A and B are shown apart, each in its own frame.
Chain A
Amino acid sequence: MARQPRGGRNRERAGLLFIAPFLLVFVTLFMTPLFYAGYLSVWKQTLVGGNHFVGFANYAKALVDPAFRSGLGHVAAFFFLQVPVMLILSISLALAIDSGKLRGAKVYRIIAFLPYAVPAVVSSVIWGYLYGPNFGLEAQLSQFLPIPKINFLSSTLALPSLANIVTWEFAGYNMIILYAALKSISTDLYEAAAVDGAGAIRIAWSIKLPALRPAIFLTVLFSVIGSFQLFTEPYNLANIAPMVFNNSYTPNIYAYSTSFTSLDQNYAAALSFLLGFVVIIMSGALRLVARNRKES
């Protein structure tokens, strides 16, 4: 490429101008709040004596805080329970819709994606009623059918019930991402496989699934982020199951109530920092696992 010093400098300036608005909002609304919260998190407000610099004391406190740790435990358990189930569902849906053996494939694609348009608050309202012990769907069926009445929001079933709501919301969204990846596979591969006598299931297993790997990585990554910052669904279900979905059920709920109920902004800032840190570590670990798989 020929170098043009003057045009090059002009172009460099134009490039910077194009991204200038983003840089502005990025610095003022992303970096600055983080720095400010980081600053707040190393102070402590006391009734007598005002503000004290405490270094990492708030972080040390959070690391041994049973409320924060039980919240982390819940979202970790939620992640390991919900994400595999949802991904198997999403992958199956994507493979079925892509198989070419399904009538009305396009309609199914839209139906599966529809719940993504439902705000999490509304999803919680709907499922809260469906789970209801007196007039919910299963409770009504148990009056006619020989099945026991299930308390979906008991302390043992709360987590799976929550996982079901999130699966309902996001299975279709992930299906679309996976389906798009399937569509980008060259059809030559299928033809070659068919000539070799491979059936539909063989093709799905040996060609489609390996090709899906980057897209699956992407969906798992989004799920890590989503799971660990779980807030809206358990927060709104607290209305009907306050003993289960308490104010430290997830780290995010705990940080929120620390800030808005306990009014301890310094500790709340430390909590949200720690949560963000955990998510970034998890994402990084996931990236490492994915890279090692690729190399081996």
Chain B
Amino acid sequence: MASKRAVQKNSKLLQLMMLVAAAYFLIPLFWLVVASTKSMSSLYNSFGMWFASPFSLFENVHKVFTLSDGIFLHWAKNSIVYAVGGALGAAIISTLTGYGFSKYRFRGSNLLFGLVLVTIMVPTTALALPTYLMFVKFHLVNTTWAVILPSLVSPIGVYLMRVYCDSAVPQTLLEAGRIDGAGEFRIFRDISVRMLAPGFVTVLLLSIIGVWNNYLLPLMMVSVAELQPLTVGLSVWNLQANAGGGFVDGSMPVVLITASLITVIPLMLAFLLLQRFWENGLSAGAVKE
């Protein structure tokens, strides 16, 4: 029985350490929530980790949506358009390609897949500037496409979908379809697509996070405020908050903080609701290496 007591003591220490770790991850988010409810004076004069009167959340939210003729709504709409367009496109292309690499052998297929693996290593931001320079040449800068098109290239999505395909779609099923006389695309549409759906949602989710949180690419590609996504817009407000710009009453910092909270909420919700998918997706990449 002595060993059982040792185990319990161990787990108490473990529990305590995990509480400290959880506090580390949660404190900044808790601060964000608390600070969003404060007025300008209580932001600086009250204890940062607890609420203070006056409760100014609704006033702050109102300011977020009305500043500069409601530019925040433009930014939110743009973030959604970029995330949906770029991520959906990337997920569809990754699924088709992963399926192609997993189920078919053709001349150069191994070489091409090797190339995909190497390009995972190319830093996306090192690619952003060259893409920007090329888009300047083609007059694509300051268009919606300037953000969506580069997001379509997702070597990591291709890799994940190939790994997923290898295990989720049995080759025998394809053979059975062929014996029944179905064409390759018929087989894909009627049989494989359904089995690929969970992997597709995973890649879609990871791509949405990537595009939604992307900063450098849209910072370079769109300089017109009406085309910028939330991340770029918030950094503009961040600059104003530090320079004393924005609202005449000097409330820009709390407006920025509240806008940050509003920006974070949709992805947090997506995370909690779709937990199964991101966990599976990341594990697929980890187990196979």
Task: Check A114–B125 contact: CB distance below 8 A.
Answer: no
Q: State A290–B114 Cα separation when bound (angstroms).
A: 19
Most buried by B among A37, A113, A122, A232: A122
Binds B, one of A45-53, A93-101, A153-161: A93-101
Q: Is B289 part of the contact surface with A, judged by Cβ < 8 Å?
A: yes
A10 with B184, Cβ < 8 A, contacts A29-B131, A136-B48, A225-B123 known: yes
A102 with B11, Cβ < 8 A, contacts A14-B104, A15-B103 known: yes
Q: Which residues of A, 240-296, contact B by the 8 Å Cβ criterion?
A: 240, 252, 255-256, 259-260, 265, 268-269, 272-273, 275-276, 279-280, 283
Q: Is B209 part of the contact surface with A, judged by Cβ < 8 Å?
A: yes
Q: Which residues of B, 111-128, contact A by the 8 Å Cβ criterion?
A: 112, 119, 121-127
Task: Check B260–A126 contact: CB distance below 8 A.
Answer: yes
A118 with B264, Cβ < 8 A, contacts A10-B184, A101-B10, A280-B122 known: yes
Task: Check B25–A111 contact: CB distance below 8 A.
Answer: yes
Range of interface residues on A (Cβ < 8 Å): 35 or more
Range of interface residues on B (Cβ < 8 Å): 35 or more
Q: Is A63 part of the contact surface with B, judged by Cβ < 8 Å?
A: no
Nearest CB in chain B to that of A126: its residue: B28
Q: Is B279 part of the contact surface with A, judged by Cβ < 8 Å?
A: yes
Q: State A108–B45 Cα separation when bound (angstroms).
A: 33
Q: State A183–B119 Cα separation when bound (angstroms).
A: 29
A residues in contact with B124, CB < 8 Å: 229
Task: Check B131–A117 contact: CB distance below 8 A.
Answer: no
Please pick, from A37, A89, A183, the residue contacting B133 in the complex, using a CB distance under 8 A.
Answer: A37
Task: Check B104–A18 contact: CB distance below 8 A.
Answer: yes
What distance in Å separates the Cβ of B20 from its nearest Cβ neighbour in chain A?
A: 11
Q: State A228–B125 Cα separation when bound (angstroms).
A: 10
Please pick, from A37, A231, A283, the residue contacting B216 in the complex, using a CB distance under 8 A.
Answer: A231
Q: Is B132 part of the contact surface with A, judged by Cβ < 8 Å?
A: yes
What distance in Å separates the Cβ of A9 from its nearest Cβ neighbour in chain B?
A: 10
What distance in Å separates the Cβ of A262 from its nearest Cβ neighbour in chain B?
A: 13
Q: Is B212 part of the contact surface with A, judged by Cβ < 8 Å?
A: yes
Mark B155-193 against chain A: 1 for CB-CB distance below 8 A, else 0.
Answer: 000100000000000000000001000001100100000
Q: State A123–B264 Cα separation when bound (angstroms).
A: 10
Binds A, one of B52-60, B61-69, B92-100: B92-100
Task: Check B133–A218 contact: CB distance below 8 A.
Answer: no
Q: State A264–B45 Cα separation when bound (angstroms).
A: 46
Please pick, from B153, B231, B282, the residue contacting A26 in the complex, using a CB distance under 8 A.
Answer: B153
What distance in Å separates the Cβ of A234 from its nearest Cβ neighbour in chain B?
A: 12
Q: State A126–B178 Cα separation when bound (angstroms).
A: 57
What distance in Å separates the Cβ of A86 from its nearest Cβ neighbour in chain B?
A: 12
Task: Check B112–A19 contact: CB distance below 8 A.
Answer: yes
Q: Is B256 part of the contact surface with A, judged by Cβ < 8 Å?
A: yes
Q: State A117–B28 Cα separation when bound (angstroms).
A: 13
Task: Check A14–B184 contact: CB distance below 8 A.
Answer: yes
Q: Is A110 part of the contact surface with B, judged by Cβ < 8 Å?
A: yes
What distance in Å separates the Cβ of A287 from its nearest Cβ neighbour in chain B?
A: 9
Please pick, from A15, A93, A200, A283, the residue contacting B10 in the complex, using a CB distance under 8 A.
Answer: A200
Q: Is A71 part of the contact surface with B, judged by Cβ < 8 Å?
A: no
Q: State A148–B267 Cα separation when bound (angstroms).
A: 38
List 12 A-B residue pairs with CB atoms under 8 Å apart, sorted by A's residue number.
Answer: A30-B153, A33-B131, A102-B14, A103-B15, A124-B238, A134-B44, A137-B49, A168-B28, A177-B285, A232-B215, A256-B220, A268-B129
A-side residues, CB < 8 A to B, are 7, 10-19, 21-23, 25-26, 29-30, 32-34, 36-37, 40, 89, 92-93, 96, 99, 101-103, 108, 110-127, 129-130, 134-137, 140, 168, 171-173, 176-178, 180-181, 183-184, 200, 214-215, 217-218, 221, 225, 228-229, 231-232, 235-236, 239-240, 252, 255-256, 259-260, 265, 268-269, 272-273, 275-276, 279-280, 283
